[in-house]
Structures are given as C-alpha cells and as structure tokens.
Amino acid sequence: MKKEAKTLLTKSIDSILLAVEHFNRHLNIGRHEAVLIFLDRSFELLLKSIILHKNGNIREKNEKLTIGFNQCVRKCVSDDNLKCLSENDALTIQIINSLRDAAQHHILEMSEQQLYIYTQSAITLYNRILEKVFNQKITDHLPERVLPVTSNLPMEFSSLIDVEFDDIKQMVRNGNRKTLDAKSKLLPFAIIESSLNGTHTQPSEKELDEISKKIKAGKNWEEIFPAIKKLNISPEGKGFIISLRLTKKEGNPVYIVPEGTPGATAIAIKKINDLDFYSLNLDKLSEKIGLTTSKTIAIIRELNVQSVNDYYKEFKIGSVVFKRYSSLALDFLYKSLPNLNIDEIWGNHKHFLTGGKKKKQNSI
C-alpha cells in the first residue's frame, strides 16, 4: 500500500476507535459532539485512503488542499475505478456529516436512541468497507465487547420519532420558555430531511420556526418530514456484534449528484441523463472485467444481469437498439467472478452465441 494511503488509513482507524471510546464514556460532557466529529473524520480519511489505494487523486491540479468530504463521497460512488460505496452507503455517510456539521458549529440535541442508531449504522458500514477494500475488520483493532453498547436498544425508526415528536409538541405548546429546546430537538430531524432531499445546507432559524408553526397547527411528523418516513433501519446480527443499516425504502431511489450541482449533497438528485448512469457498452464492460465479449455475454446470461433495472437498460434511437450497463452492473460482476467457473458457464451458453445465424447486437 502507498505510504500516504497507509497513513490515512491508520488515522481513520484511530478516529473510529475514538468515536467508539467516546460513545462508551460514562461522562456526557461533549459526548454526542465528539462521537459525531470522530465518525465524520474517520469516513473522510478512509475514503481518501481508498482513492489513493486505487490510484486516484485526492488533490486537484494547482490546489494546495486535498479534496473535500463531498467530492470524496462522489468519487467513491460514481467513479468506476474508485467505486466502493452504494447510494445507500453514501446516504449513511452524508447523514453523519450533516449532523457533525450542526454539532460542531451550533447546538444539536438528540436522544440516546438516535445517537446509537447513527453510531451503530456508521460502524457497521465502516467495518464493511474496511473489510471489502483492505481485508481488515474493526475487531482487529479492539475487542468486540467495547463496540457501541446500549441498554436502551432502538425501536422502529418511525416509533422512535413518534415518541420524540410527542416531547417536541409539548415543548412547542409551552411557548417561548421551551422554544430553544424544541428547535434543538427538531434540528437532527430537519438535517436528515434535508440530506434525503439533497440539500447540504443547515436549516435556518426561519425554517425551524416554520416547522414549529406546523406542529402548533396540529400537523404530524409524517407531513412535516415526508422523506424521513421513507427511511428504514435494517438490523443484522451475528454473535456479539449488532449491525444496523440505514436505507431508503423500496421505490425511493437515491441518486448521484453531477459535479458542480449548487447546494446539493453527494447523493441526491434526479438522473437527468440516463446515458450517464448506464455508461458502459458491452465492449467496455468486457474490457474492465478482463474477458472476451462472448464470455461476458455468457456470464450476463448466467447471472440474469439484464433483468435488473439498475444494471441494464436499452435505448432505442430510430430503428437501432443500444444496450448499456451501469457501474452497478460492473461492481456486481467484479464481486461475482471469483465464485464462478467461467469455462463451465461458457460451455452452457456458447450454443446461444455460436449456433446458427445471430442477430447483430448493437451497443455504444
């Protein structure tokens, strides 16, 4: 591994360990803020280490500083050569970054259950990326017993918000005396709503006032935060390690932000040009996985790649059909290849490619 990449990885692991340590502290002084700051730093340094490890650049030409957080995420989601994050992975990282921003620059209040959900989801993701790219685990660096522990396990995310929203309603009804407390408790929900909608700016005082007015008017949280309603907690567990993943529900995709989109996060915007998403023709796909086009087609047929909407799409221009594949399809094939017997698959499918007269397949 390159020296700079190795140093960044070491510093990143140091930060994730400090996040765990602060989460488990018995003192609450600055605890929430410290956990979020160290989690955020751990991800930024991890992504920079991965970019360098995969021969990418973390410095723009003639720039003194390295690239920022959002650009790291963007590269690791959308660059075929650097990709290590799914859109849902990026969603978790973006939420941590936005919460850290609020905690570092103003006042952020959240319940212990909220902090646990965000911390455990972040550590689950961090461990998965660390193992996938560097073949390491967090438990190589600390005992399992000190991973985030809580005596107050999280309920369903929607149920958690129901409980917390009841408290906020009471604060809002009490008038000016509790206004600041109510706004502080509303802030994490407003931040997550903004992140899910692709806005990286922090909610303003005016926006928080508007939310408070809606609560006074009797609106429920699903009406005020419709994007949060689409957020899931997916628990996974083995042994002593509890894994949590934050995901968007089926039918609510997370999109990639084009470079230079003003005020947008790295993970949320409409796909204006599908050809940018389905960017690979058969020749490019074959070249990247190191196989002939014929054997690539055989594997595509074996794994039913063309049946997955996010992997494959056909574009008809005039009478010509162009067949295109996404970087998600490439990532799926990369992961699948080590477990495949390519010669056997070729034997099962070559009759389709070599037998009889074939129609010409068009691709760009």
Domain assignment present for 222? no
Shared-domain flag, residues 129 and 25: yes
pLDDT at 276: 64
Shared-domain flag, residues 42 and 133: yes
Helices (H), 57-178: 69-78, 87-105, 112-134, 157-173
Domain assignment present for 197? no
Shared-domain flag, residues 149 and 280: no
Domain assignment present for 259? no
Domain assignment present for 92? yes
Residue pair 237/172 in contact (Cβ under 8 Å)? The answer is no
Q: For the chain, what is the largest distance between any 2 Cα atoms, rounded to a whole number of angstroms?
A: 82
pLDDT tens across 137-168, in order? 988 888 766 666 665 555 567 778 888 888 88
Domain assignment present for 159? no
Shared-domain flag, residues 32 and 141: yes
Compare 151 and 221 and report the one with higher pLDDT: 221
* pLDDT band at residue 244 using 50, 70 and 90 as cut-offs: low
Structural domain of residue 320, as residue ranges?
A: 274-354
pTM for the predicted model, two decimal places: 0.65
Q: What share of the chain is helix, strand, coil (3-state, %, to 5)?
A: 60, 10, 35
Residue pair 58/67 in contact (Cβ under 8 Å)? The answer is yes
Domain assignment present for 207? no
